[in-house]
Structure 1
Amino acid sequence: MKRFIDLSLAILIALLFLIPMILIALLIRLTSSGQAIYWSKRVGYNNNIFNMPKFRTMRINSPVVATHLIKNIDEYYSPIGSFLRRTSLDELPQIFSVLKGDMSIVGPRPALFNQDDLIQLRKEKGIMKLLPGITGWAQVNGRDDLSIPEKVYYDKEYLDKKSFKFDLKIIFLTIFKVIKSSNISH
């Protein structure tokens, strides 16, 4: 049932946002060198590595680490990168990862391949049994403001409580948080 809902929502979102995604890709290409899509190595279901697409928000040759670890992050943003991050528009291409089956609409955010501390804690809690999501319980409870142990706490809570009703709650909270640009620090 979850896969059917994921596919239905992903198709709807892809259709609704097709024109904006094309415009964003063009803006990225017009304002900075490099591809419009950045492929990020992420840890997915059963700790398998997959390539997750995002609109590129950073300049070419930026460090490949979690952005909260980069000092002077503003120096690395592309001309429209900060705006894309603040509005979460950089996440739109992940719809195609949902269609492919690498991600779900709701689940724990996929860790970067080099976030060993997050990966290890999730492994200890069994969270790797979940398909990663575009949004999740941790995102609506603090997103960038959460420490790694706090993120894993919310991921485990999601694992224990997952249901259609809980996913709907997370989706609606996500829409509200994105509109308010809540808990986005970079």
Structure 2
Amino acid sequence: MDIVLSLAALLVLAPVLLGAAVAITLETGFPVLFRQTRVGLNGREFSMYKFRSMVKNASQVGPYFTTDNDPRITRVGRFIRRTSIDELPQILNVLKGDMSLVGPRPDVPVQRSLYAEADWVRRCSVRPGITGLAQALYRSDSTGVQRLEADLRYAREASLWLDLKICWWTLRRLGGQGAN
């Protein structure tokens, strides 16, 4: 299902993907995509794709996370983050098998230290997703504890029905508050 829906999404969203790529190029030049090492199913690391929404040297200027009004985020970047367009290249990660459409958002490797070992293993027992329960419920306005609880709940209760609910809740939140 991930493959079929991802291929369909690529076709439908092609104009949006092209528009975002052009806007990023016009504002800050190449590269258009940002790649970052993330942790996936069973703790395997992979390169996750996003549209670049920050200045080119963002990783040298600040931490792996962003804050409200982060000066590293470009004007186009603010828009594509608010609308979640920056996440659309992850459809390629789904097609490669690194991610699913729905699952816990993949962490960067350094975040492993934030988890108890059992929680980390549970969280990595499912394929990470473009959207997850934490994003559907809170967008980016959650605490670390809320995200962890939602991710562990998803790992315990994963089902097609829960995935459909998460997709619906995510679509209702797109473009709303809480995206940074």
**Scaled by the length of structure 1, what TM-score is found?**
0.88
The 8 Å contact of residues 6 and 98 in structure 1, kept in 2 or not, is answered as yes
The 8 Å contact of residues 137 and 169 in structure 2, kept in 1 or not, is answered as no
Q: What letter corresponds to residue 155 of structure 2 in structure 1?
A: L
Tell me the residue number matched to 2:160.
164
Q: Which runs of 5+ in 1 are unaligned?
A: none
Tell me the residue number matched to 1:135.
131
Q: Which runs of 5+ in 2 are unaligned?
A: none
Work out whether 1:15 is the aligned partner of 2:14.
no
Correspondent of 1:124 among 118, 128, 152: 118
Q: How big is the shift at 1:135?
A: 0.4
Q: How big is the shift at 1:159?
A: 1.4
Tell me the residue number matched to 1:41.
37
The 8 Å contact of residues 32 and 79 in structure 1, kept in 2 or not, is answered as no
SS in 1 for 2:75: coil
2:91 and 2:51 map into 1 onto residues whose CA distance is 12
Cα deviation digits, residues 112-157 of structure 1 (max 9, x gap)? 2222344x34x42211111000001111121322122211111111
Aligned residues: 175
2:109 and 2:18 map into 1 onto residues whose CA distance is 28
SS in 2 for 1:82: helix
Tell me the residue number matched to 1:183.
178
CA change 1:76–1:110 in 2 (3 A) is same
CA change 1:72–1:178 in 2 (3 A) is closer
Q: What letter corresponds to residue 65 of structure 1 in structure 2?
A: Y
Tell me the residue number matched to 2:64.
65
The 8 Å contact of residues 66 and 112 in structure 1, kept in 2 or not, is answered as no
**Scaled by the length of structure 2, what TM-score is found?**
0.91
Correspondent of 2:47 among 48, 51, 58: 51
Q: Kindly, what percent of the aligned residue pairs are identical? A: 35
The 8 Å contact of residues 65 and 114 in structure 1, kept in 2 or not, is answered as no
